[in-house]
Chain A
Amino acid sequence: MSDLLRILENEFQIIAISFLIFVYILRIVWLFRFKSSKEKTYPEGNAKAGIAYSMLNVAMPWTMETTRKKHFFYIQFVLFHLGVTLAIGATFIIPYWPHLFEIKAIVWIFQFIVGVAFIVGLFRLYRRLADASIRLISSWDDYFSLILMILYFAVAFLAIPINYQRSEWPLILFFALTAFFLIYVPFSKIGHYLYYPFTRFFLGRTMGHRGVFAKKKKNRSTEGL
């Protein structure tokens, strides 16, 4: 392993991830600086149950009309994000638990899912370019982030087998891209996962309090009256 790759896999990643955490903390502090609203009404439901329901909404495609009707879109979403998870996982496995990738089956599973995520990424790019309504709302950041992800999946696909002997370049590229991601993500749309708990929390709290989210006893409103 060259010194360049060793530094990229270790020190460079630690610096980049520290930067990401630092910016995320700033970002959360920034969000908390906006005033919050207080609930003054009697509850009809349970805010905590609503929050839990809202947070898990993404794993319950049957609860949303769009995901219920558009199976293909939902499957794409799952595979794309699974690909992201595995690619990120690989950035830890390669430097710290490389023996895991000595098991061929694990390498194949990782490569298969990351490869599918790559294809989904291409499809998403096509959709973003071909659909006039998506094109109209898309910013440079939307395109750049998506292209970056597609590139990342491709590089991860090549890097996962960890073949130093043949060529280090896939690994160098993979870790260079990872570091770039860690620095760029907090300023781009890719950082949406940081906001997901916030939007879902607020929606779940309101709707749970009102009894709109989460199942409840039938006709509860007339009980005890």
Chain B
Amino acid sequence: MSEKIKNKRIKIEDITNLPLELESQKKASQEKIGSVSEGKLKLYNQQKKNVDRFRELLSEKITRQLASSMVACVHCGMCAESCHYSLTRPDDPKMTPVYKADQIRRIFKKHIDWTGRVFPKWVKARSPVDDQDLNHLKNIVFGTCSACRRCTFNCPMGVETALLIRFARGILTDLGIVPEGVFNVSRDQWETGNQMAVTEEDYLDTLDWMKEELQEELDIPDIDIPIDKEDCDFMYTINPREIKFDPRSISHAAKIFHFAGEKWTMPKWGWDQTNFGLFSGDDRLGAYVAKNVYEAAVRLRAKRIVISECGHGYRSTRWEGYNWAEYDQNIPTESVILTLMRYIQKGMIKVDPAKNPEPVTFHDSCNLARSGDLLEAPRWVLDKVCTDYREMFPNRRENFCCTGGGGLLSMAEYRPLRLEVAKVKAEQLEATGAKLVCTICHNCVDGLTDLIKHYKLDMKVVQILELVSNSMVIRMP
């Protein structure tokens, strides 16, 4: 890529030695918030034997799938070729996925695996000695991996490194040994049911505001954003970021649904399809948030759940959430991309690609591409609503992370490293020559916007709802 910016090389010790920040935990303890007193949100306690507890949790939580990934790695190092951290810092041996996974694997070997228990030094098995070691592990699993799963797809053995990272995160979350951002977002989602602490009043006001704006813009007084309407064709769930920072995405959706003649609703409670449990590794939080959505759909007798543009939200709500909550799926759950595709396929909305003439490329969100199989649908839609679509390489399952995945956007302390390793993504983006990069993930919007600014790229991030909304051909009666 053109050398627009000289990255300041981060010393990895500056990341791995970051201390455990406890300000927010102290505040939560003083305020005796519900999730803490009910034991849902765990606080760090220096007096406790955290290393022993870590070991116990490791034994309690490990599944067969994780255990096989613990023992199967042959240390071939192939994963290093696939990770944006190790590709950007090839001379830093601590950036390879296998090194990061080995930090939890060595504890497993020491306490659970055979050879490691008898001859620990032979297989590099080692237990953490104190809380300092656990904090070091925290910085590795939260700060040096976006859990994009690219390495898993490039592992000849099929080792699920991203799941091992999430597993380690989950145990540390149970001990309160987490970055402040992770604690804060988890607290908000436990306390308010959404990860940005949006109050019900703010939520309803914003929807009302969007509705009024839409009515004015289109001069259609009966256009609606229905709330808690029963027996609809679908219940639409969103990312709280849409309420806080990007409410236009809701009005784009409402406009499209209106012209498609849909009978739809949004729930008053259970509207947050994002799920910080995926990032923190806390399955209980994951179950709680996902269940809120599933139960809202049951309460409203919706025939389908539609998930707005969000990578981890889609993965959590469509796939992981049902399993975390041990909740049998009872209605279809789909991404709004499939809804849009259906509208265009069936002629329920008319689109004109000439209305989006700028060159546009598509960024595959990791959670949608590698964990959710939404590869062709967004491309199909973009082909219908844009005139100049340019593929990014590599793409689909091989695309690189926006570098803000795995909850990293909420962990400010790791931002310098995140932006340094975003060089791979920046090069990918620049090579397309596109002016717009479209993504169907709100997390990726922020991740990409951050790196575009950092690498001074001449691009803007858009989402597919906006492009479809722009391209609509509306014929008023």
Complex contact B63–A35 (CB within 8 A): yes
Would you call B62 and A34 a contact (CB within 8 A)?
yes
Which residues of chain B have a CB within 8 Å of any CB of chain A? 62-69, 71-75, 77-78, 80-82, 86, 91-96, 98-99, 102, 114-115, 121-124, 152-154, 156-160, 318-319, 322-323, 325-329, 332-334, 338, 341-342, 345, 370-373, 376-377, 380, 394, 397-398
Besides A137-B96, A219-B380, 15 more A-B contacts (Cβ < 8 Å) are A40-B326, A65-B394, A70-B78, A73-B78, A134-B77, A137-B77, A140-B121, A141-B123, A188-B115, A198-B68, A199-B158, A210-B373, A221-B377, A222-B342, A225-B342
- The answer on a CB contact under 8 Å between A134 and B64 is no
- Interface SS of chain B: helix
- Complex contacts, A131 vs chain B, CB 8 Å: 77
- Residues of B within 8 Å of A188, CB to CB, are 115
A-B contact pairs, 6 of them (CB 8 A): A34-B63, A37-B63, A42-B329, A210-B373, A219-B345, A219-B377
Are B123 and A140 interface neighbours, CB within 8 A? Answer: yes
Residue of chain A at shortest CB distance from B318: A41
- B66 partner residues in chain A, CB cutoff 8 A: 34
B380 near A132: Cβ-Cβ < 8 Å: no
Task: Let me know if A40 and B329 touch, CB within 8 A.
Answer: yes
Contact residue among A41, A77, A133, A212 (Cβ-Cβ distance under 8 Å from B93): A133
User: A218 contacts which chain B residues (CB < 8 A)?
Assistant: 376
Residue of B nearest to A33 (CB): B64
Q: Please name all residues of chain A whose beta carbon is closer than 8 Å to the beta carbon of B152 when the two chains form the complex.
A: 203
Partner pick for B82 among A39, A66, A211, CB 8 A cutoff: A66
Contact A139/B81 with A34-B67, A189-B75, A203-B160 known, Cβ cut-off 8 Å = no
B324 smallest CB distance to A (angstroms): 9
Q: Please pick, from B69, B319, B397, the residue contacting A199 in the complex, using a CB distance under 8 A.
A: B69
**Are A132 and B93 in contact, with the CB atoms below 8 A?**
yes
A residues contacting the other copy or chain, number (CB 8 A): 58
| CB of B79 to closest CB in A, whole Å | 8
- Contact check, A202 vs B160: say whether CB atoms are below 8 A apart: yes
A195 touches B78 (CB 8 A): no
- Residue of A27, A137, A198 near B99 (CB, 8 A) is A137
Instruction: Decide if B156 touches A77 in the complex (CB within 8 Å).
Output: yes
Distance in angstroms between the alpha carbons of A198 and B154 in the assembled complex = 17
Please pick, from B64, B86, B157, the residue contacting A32 in the complex, using a CB distance under 8 A: B64
Cα–Cα distance between A221 and B341 once the two chains are bound (Å)? 10
- In the complex, the answer to whether A38 meets B158 with C-beta atoms within 8 Å is no
Q: Is A135 an interface residue (CB 8 A)?
A: yes
CB within 8 A of A203: which of B158, B329, B397? B158
Which B residues touch A134, using CB under 8 A? 75, 77
A10 within 8 A of B: no
Measured CA separation A222–B341 after assembly (Å): 8
Which partner residue on chain B sits nearest A42 by CB separation? B329
Docked-complex contact A70 and B81, CB < 8 angstroms? yes
Q: Which of A36, A77, A139, A140 gathers most chain B CB within 10 Å?
A: A139
Measured CB to CB, the closest approach of chain B to A23, in angstroms, equals 9
**Contact residues in B for A86 (Cβ distance below 8 Å):** none
A217 to chain B, nearest CB (A): 11
A222 touches B345 (CB 8 A): yes
- How long is the Cα–Cα vector from A58 to B160 in the complex, in angstroms? 16
